[in-house]
C-alpha cells in the first residue's frame, strides 16, 4: 500500500464532538483515490462508481496528521478497484478502512472508456 497523501486536521475539519468530521475525511479520500486511479491507469478522467462501507476504527483529533494509503486490488477493461487505509502519521493509529472503491475511466461525454494501460497493468509497471 502506498501512503502518498497527508492532511493536517484543522479546526474547520471538526464535527460538533471536536473530532475529524467523517464527511470531510471521505472527501479527502475520494479526491486522493480518484487521482491515484487516474495516474496509475493513465486514464484522463475517472468517475467514482462505488464505495464500500467505511470502517471507522478510531477518531482523528485536532492537530493529527492523517495519511491516506491506496492499493490497486483489481482492474477491468474500464475500471480500477482500490483498497484504502487511513492512519495517523506519528502514532500509526488506524483511523478508517475502505475495502473497495471502484473508479471508471470516462470519455468527454461521461461514458465508460477503455483504460489506456489495459486490465492488470498499471502505468508504473509499463516499460
Ligand atoms: C461511472 C459511469 C459512467 C459508469 O457507467 P455504467 O454504464 O454504469 O458502467 P457499467 O455498468 O458498464 O460499469 C463500468 C465498469 O465498472 C464496473 N463496476 C460497476 N459497478 C461495480 C461495482 N459495484 N463493483 C465493482 N465493479 C463495478 C463494471 O465491472 C464495469 O467494468 P467492465 O465493463 O470492464 O467489466 C456511470 O455509472 C456514472 O456516470 N455514474 C455516476 C458517477 C458519478 O457521478 N460519480 C460521482 C462523482 S465522480
Task: Compute the distance from residue 69 Cα to the ligand 1 centre, in Å.
Answer: 23
Q: Are 64 and 92 in contact (CB under 8 A)?
A: no
Residue 119's pLDDT is 57
Among 1, 102, 19, 5, which Cα is nearest to 56's? 19
Q: How far apart are CA 32 and CA 71, in angstroms?
A: 12
**Which residue range(s) make up the domain with 104?**
2-118
Over its C-alpha atoms, the chain yields an Rg (Å, rounded) of 15
Give the pocket of ligand 1 (CB within 6 Å). Answer: 47-50, 76-79, 102, 104, 106, 110, 112
pLDDT (tens digit per residue) in 71-117: 999 999 999 999 999 999 999 999 999 999 999 999 999 999 999 87
Q: Evaluate whether residue 127 is within a structural domain.
A: no
Domain count, the chain: 1
Task: Compute the distance from residue 124 Cα to the ligand 1 centre, in Å.
Answer: 24
CATH number, position 109: 3.10.129.10
Q: What is the position in ligand 1's atom list of the atom closest to the CA of 76?
A: 34
Is the confidence at residue 125, as pLDDT, over 70? Answer: no
Which residue has cell 472508456? 113
Q: What is the position in ligand 1's atom list of the atom closest to the CA of 112?
A: 3
Task: Compute the distance from residue 72 Cα to the ligand 1 centre, in Å.
Answer: 16
Which residue has cell 497493468? 121
Query: Where does residue 18 fall: left (phi above 0), alpha (psi -120 to 50 degrees), or beta otherwise?
Result: left
The percent of residues in the chain predicted with pLDDT above 90, rounded, is 91
Q: Evaluate whether residue 125 is within a structural domain.
A: no
Q: Which residue CA neighbors atom 40 of ligand 1 most closely?
A: 49
pLDDT (tens digit per residue) in 31-84: 999 999 999 999 999 999 999 999 999 999 999 999 999 999 999 999 999 999
Residue 117's pLDDT is 74
Q: Evaluate whether residue 14 is within a structural domain.
A: yes
Task: Compute the distance from residue 56 Cα to the ligand 1 centre, in Å.
Answer: 25
For the beta carbon of residue 16, count every other beta carbon within 10 angstroms.
6
Q: How far apart are CA 82 and CA 63, in angstroms?
A: 28
Q: Evaluate whether residue 126 is within a structural domain.
A: no
Average per-residue pLDDT in the chain? 93
Amino acid at each position: 500500500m502506498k501512503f502518498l497523501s497527508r492532511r493536517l486536521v484543522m479546526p474547520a475539519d471538526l464535527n460538533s464532538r471536536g473530532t475529524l468530521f467523517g464527511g470531510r475525511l471521505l472527501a479527502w479520500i475520494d479526491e486522493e483515490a480518484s487521482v491515484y486511479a487516474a495516474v496509475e491507469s493513465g486514464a484522463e478522467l475517472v468517475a467514482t462508481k462505488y464505495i464500500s462501507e467505511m470502517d471507522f476504527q478510531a477518531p482523528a483529533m485536532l492537530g493529527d496528521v492523517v495519511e491516506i494509503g491506496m492499493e490497486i486490488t483489481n482492474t477491468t477493461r474500464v475500471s480500477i478497484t482500490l483498497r484504502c487505509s487511513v492512519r495517523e502519521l506519528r502514532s500509526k493509529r488506524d483511523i478508517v478502512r475502505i475495502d473497495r472503491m471502484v473508479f471508471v475511466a470516462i470519455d468527454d461525454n461521461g461514458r465508460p472508456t477503455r483504460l489506456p494501460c489495459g486490465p492488470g497493468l498499471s502505468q508504473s509497471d509499463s516499460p
